[in-house]
């Protein structure tokens, strides 16, 4: 077994001495024995197996690009972990893969969707739209009889053998209008077979169902009489089509009104007066969604008010939770405090409950008439916690304080314990008061560690959709304003209301808004991170 | 990477492990018992999305279907609320299901996205309740097979009030005479009130949301909500709010809790709360919803059923399953037994009415119901409807008629945008 040498080792021009070789051997032995190698092989094998399995599934659904990426990443993993050296890659690989899958890919996809008209009514490609339109356009002729149907086959050519309500037996096929036949094999008034033709069983029908579902047999030479089609293979009905699709010209024509709908690049068949047939299909719309985001009346009106509240909410949430968390951390850091352990467990509890649930529970507790707060805490007061504009804002901050202080308490506890005692001792010897020690020594040192977390907390709260949605739903609303935006709506909840009105969804617009919000938050975070660099000079 | 013996060995080992793992992943082929000759030969497969509540019944129907036709049915269990959007996203890939369970008010979205195909009931269309067929129709086409109708009714605690009320005023009088804490309960929301539960009172003033075309479908061009009846309803909401009969602080949960505790003789609710009332030992009856404005109080009907995918490659088999299995009396009755909602198939409905007075009560109210509009324009209505009702009940925001008119104008503006 040869030993491949470290690149660095090879780079050094000096030949390896016996001692160095022995050192390498010892180092190798220290790096875990065969058990570890075996574990590595099993794990890598599993990863490869998973990748092959995923690739097979993807190839079956014609996702070639994704399949290639999966295989490439798996091979890269094998290459990284099998070789020696490449230590940084070994540590970074899992993180990078997850970063790509969960962050970068999602961001890129959002970016892509922002430039399309993807949403209700523009859900798939043109072929699907044509298919769906043609399906819906098939209308059964009112009061037309239903025909008993037997599907028969002659040398691979399928025909409909139908018995009309009068008992006449007819035969027809694709492009071959129905014609009366005689000598059919009858079973209880229904023709079930014909000499020279094979009758299909239900199993045969299911096996060829795509073809049979597409079949339409003209009733007579005049196409306006309608076509026989079958939904189930055992009965046939007379249909006429509301729409005619001309593939060459790419137009849909309404047979009753004669209106021609054509593809004019709007992602749907459009008539001259601008009416569109639904469904349409997905197209690229360039920067349309972004211009709409700024031109949308229901956004523009309340935009400034919502933006101000979003900042106020995010900043106040960070400040209040940090203040309370820090205060409690300092209190519990005091050596004179008894049974700290139990208190700390209690403190973590709000953090352990899912925020969704807590917000709903709080919404119940803040009910104006029957809520716990008014009935028990305030002795039957009638305080409109969630239905008055300013109180609702205060309630949101309050609930977020309850949800968020344990996190701040945790990180402050950690940061406080890492501040060396001797600095504080020295300050006290110099005669500084407790407050001075806190202001001039503890807080700056603490901020070095905590500032980045405060920024991330700000970014999180800036988009804290679930709290707002669950607690107030953005309300209370000013009903005279005529827009669907309430006093506690933050940017993200307002966007949600605009892009997903009622039951329609506009993913394109929503993605464009996401990008705009991302730019806002990213800018603020970058500036803030730059500022916190100044803190680090303290050390 | 230098290829060395060691790395070749390692790679070989990895490949072997992979092969083993893959062999484990590979699904074993189903070993059908071909000994019984009467079974049809296996051919094809359809995929059906159901939710947990209906999975068992559909599983039985699917088994029967497979035994009869040889077509396999693969059931995928989903959260009911997620089915619509996942179906809309997955259908275009061609890998979506052939059949989904769903609610009729999804239709607007499903048709606009071109993911559902029309279904032809043929001569069976007479066997279903008309309202269920109306609800499942869109632009004159029937999409799917309905299986259940649900609507709200007036639940009465017969120990507190012996007779059904004649109208709203009579109900309030009876409720007050019963001497309980509340004369009448309905679950509302402090922010959004509840247009769905208040709708029968609104229609009793002759103010439906949209006018209807001759075929029973809704006409989005004809917004009726702001008519004179609507304004009268707005004024009435203010009166009831001031009198404390309607209270936006009594949420659905609170209303249910109070009714179960015997604190009110009347509770406006749907069949979903009936089992809890029976379990709590209450003697209940379901009455027609009392009229507040003199005309018929028509609640919304929600109809549930099964849709057929437009992208399905197994339309014939799926149709057969929908029509002759899901649409059969046996399955409709079984679905009613697990869900408690009135069946859409008339024969199953009649059997259910015979056996259960509560279903009969809701069914009787439902005879008067109107399908909840499934047109996309309805989204614009919900936006403004509830908050306006809240303001009216709490007598905020000034003149009721003006508020109602403003709401109607806002809705019109949102629709024509």
Sign of CA dihedral A21, A26, A29, A31: negative
Q: Please write the tens of the pLDDT for every residue from B98-117.
A: 999 999 999 999 999 999 99
CB contact under 8 A, A131 and B140: no
Verdict on whether the full-model pTM lies above 0.95: no
Task: Point out the least confidently predicted range of A238-247, A473-482, B341-350.
Answer: A473-482
Q: Which of A34-38, A142-146, A268-272, B390-394 has the lowest mean pLDDT?
A: A34-38
The interface residues of chain A toward chain B in range 223-252, judged by CB-CB distance below 8 A, are: 230-233, 235, 237
* pLDDT winner (highest mean) among A16-25, A335-344, B86-95, B200-209: B200-209
pLDDT tens for each residue of A389-424: 999 999 999 999 999 999 999 999 999 988 888 888
On whether any CB of chain B is under 8 Å from the CB of A480, the answer is yes
- List of E strands, B145-254: 145-151, 153-157, 185-186, 210-212, 218-223
Token output for B217: 């479908």
Residue B25: is its pLDDT beyond 70?
no
Question: What is residue B19's predicted lDDT score, i.e. its pLDDT?
Answer: 65
The pLDDT of residue B27: 43
pLDDT-based confidence at residue B234 (cuts at 50, 70, 90) = very high
pLDDT at residue B287 in the model: 95
For chain A, percent of residues with pLDDT exceeding 90: 39
Q: How close A504 comes to chain B (CA, Å)?
A: 7
Statement: residue A296 has pLDDT above 80: no
Residue of B nearest to A236 (CA): B122
Could you tell me which of A42, A87, A47, A95 has the C-alpha nearest to residue A70? A47
Please judge whether B310 and A42 are an interchain contact, meaning their C-beta atoms are less than 8 angstroms apart. Answer: no
Torsion of CA B321, B324, B325, B329, to 10 degrees: 160
Q: What is the pLDDT of residue A5?
A: 45
Mean pLDDT within A19-31: 70
Mean pLDDT, chain A, whole residue set? 87
CB-CB under 8 Å, B10 with A203:
no
Q: Which of A202, A233, A501 sits opposite B383 (nearest CB)?
A: A501
Going by the DSSP 8-state scheme, the letter that residue A286 receives in this structure is T
Contact B15 A123 (CB under 8 A): no
pLDDT at A33: 67
How confident is the model at residue A78, as a pLDDT? 87
Question: Is A143 part of the contact surface with chain B (CB cutoff 8 Å)?
Answer: no
pLDDT of residue A35: 78
Residue with tokens 């593809």: A263
Cβ separation of B109 and A504 shorter than 8 Å? yes
Tens digit of pLDDT for each residue in A174-189?
888 999 988 888 888 8
Q: How confident is the model at residue A531 (pLDDT cuts 50, 70, 90)?
A: confident
Q: What is the average per-residue pLDDT within B355-378?
A: 91
User: According to the model, what pLDDT value does residue A390 have?
Assistant: 94
* Mean pLDDT on A362-379: 91
User: Residue B1 pLDDT > 50, yes or no?
Assistant: no
Across the interface, of A1, A78, A79, the residue whose CB is closest to B5 is: A1
Q: In chain A, which among 53-112 make CB contacts under 8 A with chain B?
A: 53, 61, 78-79, 82-83
Q: Given an 8 Å threshold on Cβ–Cβ distance, is B71 in contact with A206? A: yes
What is the SS3 string spanning A236-281? EEEEEECEEEECCCCEEEECCCCCEEEECCCCCEECCCCCECCCCC
pLDDT in tens, B135-190: 999 988 999 999 999 999 999 999 999 999 999 999 999 999 999 999 999 999 98
Contact across the interface for B10 and A37, Cβ inside 8 Å:
yes
| pLDDT band, residue B394 (cuts 50/70/90) | very high
For residue B134, give the nearest of B305, B289, B362, B334 by alpha carbon.
B305
pLDDT in tens, A157-170: 899 999 988 888 99
Inter-chain CB proximity A48 and B249 less than 8 Å = no
Lowest mean pLDDT, pick from A519-528, B39-48, B57-66, B298-307:
B39-48
| DSSP state for residue A145 in the 8-state scheme | P
DSSP-derived letter for residue B245 is S
Instruction: Provide the pLDDT confidence category of residue A505 given band limits of 50, 70 and 90.
Output: confident
Looking from the CA of B49 toward its CB, the CA atoms found within 13 Å total: 24
A449-457: average pLDDT: 92
Selection from B414, B399, B400, B393 nearest residue B188 by Cα: B393
Q: Please determine, for residue A433, whether its predicted confidence score (pLDDT) is greater than 70.
A: yes
Range B343-353 average pLDDT: 93
- In 3D, which of B386, B381, B389, B373 has the Cα closest to residue B408? B381
The pLDDT, as a whole number, for residue A19 is 79
Res A274: pLDDT: 86
Residues of chain A contacting residue B23, judged by C-beta atoms under 8 Å apart: none
Out of B310, B324, B383, the one facing A135 most closely (by C-beta) is B310
Of A315-329, B56-70, B311-325, which one has max mean pLDDT?
A: A315-329
B34 vs B54, more confident: B54
**What confidence score (pLDDT) does residue A324 get?**
96
Q: What is the mean pLDDT of residues A267-283?
A: 91
Residue B285, H or E segment: strand B284-287
Q: Provide the percentage of residues in chain A whose pLDDT is more than 70.
A: 95
Tell which of B84, B126, B316 to mutate to test the A interface (max A CBs under 10 Å): B316
Identify from A42, A84, A207, A477 which residue to disrupt to test chain B contact, counting B C-beta atoms within 10 A and taking the largest count: A477
Considering only alpha carbons, which residue of chain A is nearest residue B17?
A45
Task: Give me the pLDDT at residue B195, please.
Answer: 96
User: Is residue B289 pLDDT above 60, yes or no?
Assistant: yes
């Amino acid at each position: 077994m040869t030993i491949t040498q470290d690149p660095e080792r090879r780079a050094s021009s000096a030949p390896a001495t016996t001692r160095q070789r022995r050192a390498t051997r010892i180092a190798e032995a220290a790096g875990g024995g065969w058990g570890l190698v075996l574990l590595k092989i099993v794990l890598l094998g599993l990863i490869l197996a998973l990748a092959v399995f995923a690739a097979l599934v993807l190839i079956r659904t014609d996702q070639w690009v994704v399949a290639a990426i999966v295989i490439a990443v798996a091979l890269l993993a094998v290459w990284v972990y099998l070789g020696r050296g490449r230590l940084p890659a070994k540590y970074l690989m899992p993180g990078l893969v997850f970063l790509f899958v969960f962050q970068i890919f999602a961001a890129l996809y959002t970016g892509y969707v922002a430039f399309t008209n993807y949403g209700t009514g523009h859900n798939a490609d043109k072929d699907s739209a044509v298919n769906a339109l043609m399906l819906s356009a098939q209308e059964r002729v009112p009061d037309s009889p239903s025909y008993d149907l037997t599907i028969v086959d002659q040398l691979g050519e399928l025909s409909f053998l139908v018995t009309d309500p009068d008992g006449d037996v007819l035969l027809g096929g694709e492009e071959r209008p129905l014609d009366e036949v005689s000598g059919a094999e009858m079973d209880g008034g229904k023709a079930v077979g014909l000499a020279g033709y094979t009758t299909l069983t239900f199993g045969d029908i299911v096996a060829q169902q795509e073809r049979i579902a597409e079949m339409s047999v003209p009733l007579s030479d005049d196409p306006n009489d309608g076509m026989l089609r079958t939904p189930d293979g055992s009965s046939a009905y007379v249909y006429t089509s509301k729409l005619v699709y001309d593939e060459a010209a790419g137009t849909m024509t309404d047979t009753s009104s004669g209106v021609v709908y054509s593809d004019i690049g709007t992602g749907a068949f459009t008539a001259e007066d601008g009416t569109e047939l639904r469904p349409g299909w997905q197209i690229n719309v360039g920067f349309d969604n972004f211009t709409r985001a700024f031109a949308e009346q229901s956004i523009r009106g309340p935009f400034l008010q919502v933006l101000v509240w979003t900042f106020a909410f995010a900043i106040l949430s960070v400040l209040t939770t940090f203040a309370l968390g820090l205060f409690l951390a300092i209190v519990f850091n005091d050596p004179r405090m008894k049974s700290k352990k139990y208190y700390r467990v209690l403190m973590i509890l709000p953090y352990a409950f899912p925020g969704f649930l807590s917000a709903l529970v709080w919404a119940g507790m803040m009910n104006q008439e029957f809520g716990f707060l008014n009935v028990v805490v305030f002795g039957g007061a009638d305080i409109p916690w969630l239905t008055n504009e300013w109180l609702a804002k205060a309630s949101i901050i309050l609930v977020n304080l309850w949800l968020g202080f344990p996190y701040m308490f945790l990180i402050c506890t950690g940061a406080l314990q890492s501040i060396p005692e001797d600095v504080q001792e020295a300050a006290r010897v110099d005669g500084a008061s407790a407050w001075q020690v806190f202001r001039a020594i503890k807080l700056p040192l603490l901020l070095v560690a905590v500032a980045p977390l405060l920024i991330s907390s700000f970014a999180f709260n800036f988009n804290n959709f679930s709290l707002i949605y669950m607690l107030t739903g953005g309300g209370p609303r000013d009903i005279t304003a005529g827009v669907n935006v309430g006093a506690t709506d933050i940017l993200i909840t307002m966007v949600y209301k605009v892009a997903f009105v009622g039951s329609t969804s506009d993913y394109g617009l929503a993605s464009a808004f996401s990008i705009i919000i991302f730019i806002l938050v990213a800018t603020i975070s970058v500036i803030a991170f730059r500022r916190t660099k100044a803190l680090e000079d303290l050390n | 990477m230098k290829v060395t013996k060691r790395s070749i060995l390692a790679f070989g080992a990895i490949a072997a492990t992979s092969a083993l793992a893959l062999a484990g992943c590979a699904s074993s082929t189903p070993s059908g018992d071909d000994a019984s000759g009467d079974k049809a030969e296996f051919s094809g497969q359809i995929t059906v999305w159901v939710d947990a509540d209906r999975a068992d019944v559909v599983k039985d129907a699917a088994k029967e279907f497979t035994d009869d036709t040889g077509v396999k049915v693969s059931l995928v269990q989903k959260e009911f609320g997620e089915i619509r959007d996942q179906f809309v996203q997955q259908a275009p890939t061609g890998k979506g299901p052939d059949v989904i369970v769903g609610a009729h008010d999804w239709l607007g979205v499903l048709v606009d996205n071109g993911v559902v195909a029309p279904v032809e009931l043929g001569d069976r269309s007479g066997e279903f309740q008309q309202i269920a067929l109306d609800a499942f129709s869109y632009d004159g086409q029937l999409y799917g097979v309905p299986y259940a109708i649900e609507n709200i009714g007036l639940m009465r605690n017969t120990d507190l009030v012996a007779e059904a009320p004649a109208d709203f005023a009579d109900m309030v009088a009876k409720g007050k005479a019963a001497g309980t804490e509340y004369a009448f309960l309905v679950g509302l929301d402090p922010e959004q009130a509840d247009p769905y539960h208040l709708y029968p009172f609104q229609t009793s003033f002759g103010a439906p949301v949209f006018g209807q075309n001759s075929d029973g479908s809704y006409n989005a061009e004809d917004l009726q909500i702001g008519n004179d009846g609507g304004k009268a309803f707005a004024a009435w909401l203010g009166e009831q709010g001031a009198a404390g009969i309607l209270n936006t602080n009594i949420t659905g949960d609170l209303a249910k809790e109070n009714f179960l505790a015997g604190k009110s003789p009347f509770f406006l609710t749907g069949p979903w709360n009936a089992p809890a009332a029976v379990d709590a030992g209450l003697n209940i009856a379901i009455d027609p919803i009392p009229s507040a404005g003199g005309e018929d109080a028509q609640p919304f009907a929600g109809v549930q059923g099964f849709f057929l995918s437009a992208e399905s490659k197994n339309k014939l088999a799926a149709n057969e399953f929908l029509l002759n299995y899901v649409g059969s009396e046996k399955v409709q009755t079984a679905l009613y037994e697990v869900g408690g909602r009135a069946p859409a198939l008339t024969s199953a409905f009649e059997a259910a009415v015979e056996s259960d007075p509560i279903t009969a009560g809701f069914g009787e109210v439902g005879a008067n119901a109107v399908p909840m509009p499934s047109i996309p324009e309805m989204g614009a209505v919900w936006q403004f409807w509830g908050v306006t009702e809240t303001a009216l009940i709490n007598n905020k925001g000034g003149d009721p008629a003006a508020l109602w008119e403003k709401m109607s104008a806002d809705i019109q503006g949102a629709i024509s945008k």
